Amino acid sequence: MNNSSKTRDFVVTSMFAAIIFVMTFTPFGFIPLGVMNATVIHVPVIIGAVLMGPRIGAFLGFLFGLASLLRASTSPSVTSFVFSPLIPLPGTDSGSLWALLVCFGPRILVGVTPYYTDKFFRKFSGAWAKLRFVSTFLAGVAGSLTNTLLVMGLIFLIFRNAYASAIGSAADLVLGVILSVVFVHGIPEALVAGVFTSAVCRALESFMSKR
């Protein structure tokens, strides 16, 4: 890699890092979809992974996790204890270090799975440029679902009782709540991420190829 490529990658990575933090702490990280808001904070991580590989993608995912930790710690909601060990679990005066796994683990993998999804489906596109839309769209969907499924799955495995208490539900009903979040919120977010990823990757790939 020459100095020009290193400089380009540094600039693009820094741009994505800044976007992640801006989106985390402003309304720009959410898109209204009728009765819900779709989260798009993970989209810069996905795009970074597709364009620059899983190492930079994982780094951006770590920054996404760090931004989530800071937001949960400084502007807590009733369920922020699942993302920050500084927020006490309901009915206790202390948090859990397991929150760091929920906060960072899925986010880091958001920067990995899109790259390999795109790489896998690119094999089927060959010289058909139009099918590049398909591989990047599926990469966006995969990255978003990685975040949703792992976060909600870890919440169920680690914080089921505390989560039930926080939302005012019985512990044996938490699985249904989590599945509803996956289908009602997770799927629309994945589709939005797929569209954004495909559109932005196409534009940035064209720009980066000229540098």
pLDDT attached to residue 153 = 95
pLDDT at 208 exceeding the cut of 70: no
pLDDT attached to residue 185 = 87
pLDDT attached to residue 36 = 45
pLDDT mean over 161-186? 90
pLDDT mean over 129-157? 90
Q: Is 102 in contact with 175 (CB distance < 8 Å)? A: no
169 falls in which pLDDT band (50, 70, 90)?
A: confident
pLDDT attached to residue 10 = 86
Q: Any idea which residue has 């808001």 for tokens?
A: 37
31 φ, ψ (degrees, to nearest 5): -120, 125
Task: Give the pLDDT confidence of 39-87 residue by residue, as tens digits.
Answer: 789 999 999 999 999 999 999 999 999 999 999 999 888 899 999 999 9
Task: Please state the separation of Cα 177 from the chain's center in Å.
Answer: 20
Q: Running DSSP on this structure, what letter comes out for residue 96?
A: -
pLDDT mean over 176-199? 91
Which domains, ranges and CATH numbers included, belong to the chain?
3-209 (1.10.1760.20)
Cα–Cα distance between 81 and 100 in angstroms, integer?
10
Which of 71, 150, 154 lies closest to 109, judged by CA?
Answer: 150
pLDDT mean over 8-27? 89
Task: Give the pLDDT confidence of 76-130 residue by residue, as tens digits.
Answer: 888 999 999 999 999 899 999 999 999 999 999 999 999 999 998 887 765 555 6
Distances in Å between the Cα of 163 and the Cα atoms of 19, 43, 126, 171, 174 are 30, 26, 47, 8, 8
Instruction: Supply 115's token pair.
Output: 């790259």
4 falls in which pLDDT band (50, 70, 90)?
A: low
Question: Between 1 and 92, whose confidence is greater?
Answer: 92
193 falls in which pLDDT band (50, 70, 90)?
A: very high
pLDDT at 38 exceeding the cut of 70: no
pLDDT attached to residue 35 = 43
